[in-house]
Structure 1
């Protein structure tokens, strides 16, 4: 029997979970979302005829499409997909995997108040049943004598994972009532290729040649968009319905096999099947597509084929190739054009968007510029776009933002101490003193206890951030600066923010835990106002040498950095630390090579003389501490489909703080 294509709904089956309590408010659960076990199911042939069969999920990396799970698939309440309040969590991106014939994933539960009762039931173990919803794109069907048919899902795709009170009835998913309203529920159908044991053997990679799910609109789409794909036009000579169906299935299988053989992708085949092309017309279209793909090779600039065709393992390569082309267009001097990105050179943003949609099997023929931009960024009917283009734009924006952040100068990193904080709670930094004096122990004497004095400075992380939107108009106007130069400016602004916060401590002179300002006579770190000279430097070294620990003992701390605003103070500093060849002892530079000059424009005062500062080595004693959130050093970006704007939004978030910890490693001179 030849292969046939049927429209099948979303299917569910039982899974299991293991509770994992994260640190602080981090609530995560580990889910085993499939074991591939054989389950009994039923299908309806007519309204009353029920046929039972066995379904087996093939759980191997080649049989399971993992893209949706690893992109952050939703964790739902009882498979309810028609309201945002049904989302109680999401799969952590990249956590889904196949090991030993089982599917594993980690789910982060939401902290939203309306989901708190459900989350609490999961966390305390009251709700322990989990069900996975999936679509099957191809079944291989066999039947042994005297047994039920065995439907082996050799190409299937998990769509979501749900917490459920009881596992769903395997047979109730085809015809049923909406549990919430009692109303009949409209199923979203997906084409599925059925091959039976007596059918011609498909090619080894045919498990990825079915029509992609993006061709089937969501249940809430208008009725006219939910029609099943039009069948391929059958030969007019045979009016028999069975013959028409047989010919359509044969033609569809032939088109799928040809596209697979020439690595043209499932989307291209699905588009021809949907448009009802005859087999001869489909063959001609395939030849035209091959000639178009081979054209660059004739000009001597052959691209890497894997970047533009296929799915699965090449997704990341495709996105990286297009991102590299955009980065080269933005800054040719810094970003080289790689071989795999060469095929995208010279394309406008709208042309790149069309390429990404076509590759996903989304028909773009006949769309206006605005419709094309909407489909690429948002998707139809306001749904999330299924193309790679939003991810590509976000990747480019993120890379330009990070590059600008990393290259913006930050002079404080040499003399200040970096720290990492695990959360946003206030942290206390102990200002440790030296060890107590060692006392002589006479023969047969006892050792006595000593104490180490300490003081404490408290501070906490602060979150800073902004959002930049990429709209449909940006694509139509081919405005590359919207997601390269603007994010780049955000990255530089984040680095400048760090410098502003650190050096504002010098200018504002905040109070320490003892109630006195950072630079104060009681702290013995204020010099007599003057220029940078042997006299003022000698005074500074004397003050450093006289510093006492919290227990009153002298400590060995010397300055290492001299910090000045640009101008006369900077010139004085460099003259006093540069080695010279004197003609007499009076011309010897006593401080040559002892201090490292640092020039910082933020120290220029609004009025009055330029001050100057000295800082000790931060590895020897605390000075000023700057801190990041653990795991997110620097700027962190997130992307979502726009709600306030028709496009995508990129949020730049920066968690940072700075605090003076110990005055004994710092010195200030007001200058003259």
Structure 2
């Protein structure tokens, strides 16, 4: 049974495995398709130690960071990774394909590369920051393509700028694939909304078959959701058109035949798309809340019913499943277990509605206060509470097992469901900064584990005619990491129920959710401020490591340039990189007191310290500024630089099985009259390498 507190694996808890192969069929990072990185990595881990890992791709792309997580995992996998482009590897899917030790494309398959895109809101500086972030993402992707194909980065950048589509023959010729297989007419299992792209060849747009869920997910991408803002697919804004309908794609229309009022047409199309997307999401949410299967939701969506009609259909579905007669005032009917489940579902949604949580719904339980709900939880179990003192009734509702009817409290579980949702909202609302510049790791147990990183491979040697190739060597280095558990308990008492204190299981869990992520943040920044000792016996920031400024100085063009130089000239431990590792800073991490100084130093057009507006600022926009108040408590002057964690080892935050959200458990109270709830998270931040980190003590 899936952990209710996590929700990590999406609404369907899909598996990407089929006959021992990995199927990336759909939108990368979309949990409804089951292609979020946590699900993909979890399912591949389940295969254990295998000599070969076959990955089949048919995808229009997806979310950049989710795709990078899958790519990095495949690159690090011990098996030989064989990638099959079954039909389409576009956008972020083409990046994942580059993880293959061998890449195979049928003759009728296609690949597409283009620039990442995003949606921004705010002032001019907000747009500049977003543009800078997109440039950094593009540089990462160009680096991945260049490493796999051997092509020049400048040429790859040009290909991405114009959105380049490749046949299998072209992909092999340019190094994006290794082998061409026979055409497979059954390979294209889904249709994707390719109207989001600009230069789709006719041979591609007519070749891909129908698939409802992936098209819906791509329509969701085109809306530019604020919570997942690093999408690769780009809508064709120039055409001003909404994504084409999946089942009946709209044929292309000559621009000359378009009506004059194109702006109104575009507006109508966008509004229609938004309404359809809202209808689909509301139906899916209502069906999930009713604990009905996804096929039922898909049928309702396909029928084109409204959300009100869908809710009526849900009630009819419940009625079909339960033929128990309605209890009258004179005779109490025996309620089946299905009736108990429906009470729990209805009461949960009613409490969520009262608490203002998403997924709540007005129903027959909405008008009941907590005391009345507690009594109803006993009635639905045929436990009489008539004439019982209210304190005794509330206590019985929390622990009816004492009366031999069931092993857990229905009422306690209802409160726990709502508390869990409140906790996760608090977790998501917390404004934590460490996620911006750290990487996420997965540990499967609490045993000490060595995180190993490979050094550089030997430089290639000239091989003369008839001469023998020589073997190269590659070293490694590592740090030991180990998970720890952090948690707290709280309780909901009979008094809270009698007083109808709904905040007891909404506000408190919400605060505990924030506390969970705050605890992880405390651990991350403690690594920086405590200057932890690494496995080589040397402190993280030390002259021996070449990542500590010799003399402190406030952020300026000069001090930032010196820091950038120190990171770029970090030495490979095996001395195989001539000059240095060329590590680039991606983040400037500062206490709140230094935020303005650092942003001025990095964003100014000229060197502010020199006061000469003719002298350009050589460090302009070299890194994204991350301001963290925890650093002020240690030093209001010290500042740090960090490299991109996807390209250089810095600090990794490990979670048990990749579960980065807190978990809530409940039980009937022993020391208190009520229910006890425990919030915990299993996490451990660790330093993987010192070369991507730099410190200046400031002045």
2-structure distance, mates of 1:380, 1:454:
57
2-structure distance, mates of 1:263, 1:452:
66
Residue of 452, 459, 475 corresponding to 1:430:
452
1-structure distance, mates of 2:346, 2:340:
10
2-structure distance, mates of 1:461, 1:577:
37
| Residue aligning to 1:324 | 349
Q: 1:462 to 1:581 in 2, by over 3 A?
A: closer
Matched, 1:379 2:400: yes
Q: 1:523 to 1:545 in 2, by over 3 A?
A: same
Equivalent residue runs for 1:80-95 within 5 Å: none
Residue of 390, 411, 414 corresponding to 1:369:
390
Give the superposition deviation at 1:346.
Answer: 4.1
Matched, 1:416 2:438: yes
For 1:334-370, what per-residue CA distance to the aligned partner results, in whole angstroms no more than 9, with x for missing partners? 54752xx343334221111112222232222211102
Matched, 1:593 2:621: yes
Give the superposition deviation at 1:265.
Answer: 4.3
Equivalent residue runs for 1:21-170 within 5 Å: none
For structure 2, the 5+ residue unaligned runs are: 1-318
2-structure distance, mates of 1:462, 1:605:
24
2-structure distance, mates of 1:358, 1:537:
69
Alpha carbons 1:562, 1:613 under 8 Å: kept? yes
| Residue aligning to 1:666 | 693
| Residue aligning to 1:647 | 674
2-structure distance, mates of 1:523, 1:417:
21
CA root-mean-square deviation? 2.9
| Residue aligning to 1:573 | 598
| Residue aligning to 1:25 | none
Matched, 1:490 2:515: no
Q: Secondary structure at the match of 1:639?
A: strand
Alpha carbons 1:636, 1:652 under 8 Å: kept? yes
Alpha carbons 1:523, 1:663 under 8 Å: kept? yes
Q: Secondary structure at the match of 1:653?
A: strand
Equivalent residue runs for 1:326-345 within 5 Å: 326-330=351-355, 332=356, 335=358, 338=361, 341-345=362-366
Pair member with larger Rg: 1
Q: TM-score, normalised on structure 2?
A: 0.50
2-structure distance, mates of 1:379, 1:604:
51
| Residue aligning to 2:497 | 475
Q: 1:311 to 1:591 in 2, by over 3 A?
A: farther
1-structure distance, mates of 2:431, 2:354:
25
2-structure distance, mates of 1:418, 1:596:
19
Alpha carbons 2:351, 2:360 under 8 Å: kept? no
Alpha carbons 1:267, 1:360 under 8 Å: kept? no
2-structure distance, mates of 1:657, 1:530:
32
| Residue aligning to 1:97 | none
Q: 1:605 to 1:640 in 2, by over 3 A?
A: closer
Give the superposition deviation at 1:566.
Answer: 0.6
| Residue aligning to 1:531 | 554
Q: 1:648 to 1:517 in 2, by over 3 A?
A: same
Equivalent residue runs for 1:221-370 within 5 Å: 265=324, 268=327, 282=331, 311=336, 316-330=341-355, 332=356, 335=358, 338=361, 341-370=362-391
Give the superposition deviation at 1:666.
Answer: 0.4
Matched, 1:603 2:647: no
Matched, 1:547 2:570: yes
Structure having the larger proportion of residues in helix: 2
Q: 1:267 to 1:646 in 2, by over 3 A?
A: farther
Give the superposition deviation at 1:386.
Answer: 6.2
1-structure distance, mates of 2:448, 2:587:
30
Q: TM-score, normalised on structure 1?
A: 0.52
Matched, 1:560 2:582: no
Give the superposition deviation at 1:444.
Answer: 1.9
2-structure distance, mates of 1:327, 1:428:
44
Alpha carbons 1:420, 1:627 under 8 Å: kept? yes
Q: Secondary structure at the match of 2:541?
A: coil
Give the superposition deviation at 1:526.
Answer: 1.0
Equivalent residue runs for 1:454-465 within 5 Å: 454-465=476-487
| Residue aligning to 2:652 | 625
1-structure distance, mates of 2:422, 2:542:
43
For 1:300-324, what per-residue CA distance to the aligned partner results, in whole angstroms no more than 9, with x for missing partners? xxxxxxxxx9755565554333223
Alpha carbons 2:569, 2:583 under 8 Å: kept? no
Q: 1:510 to 1:493 in 2, by over 3 A?
A: same
Give the superposition deviation at 1:266.
Answer: 6.3
For 1:127-157, what per-residue CA distance to the aligned partner results, in whole angstroms no more than 9, with x for missing partners? xxxxxxxxxxxxxxxxxxxxxxxxxxxxxxx
Q: 1:403 to 1:314 in 2, by over 3 A?
A: farther
Size of the alignment, in residue pairs?
373
Equivalent residue runs for 1:179-258 within 5 Å: none
Q: 1:591 to 1:364 in 2, by over 3 A?
A: same
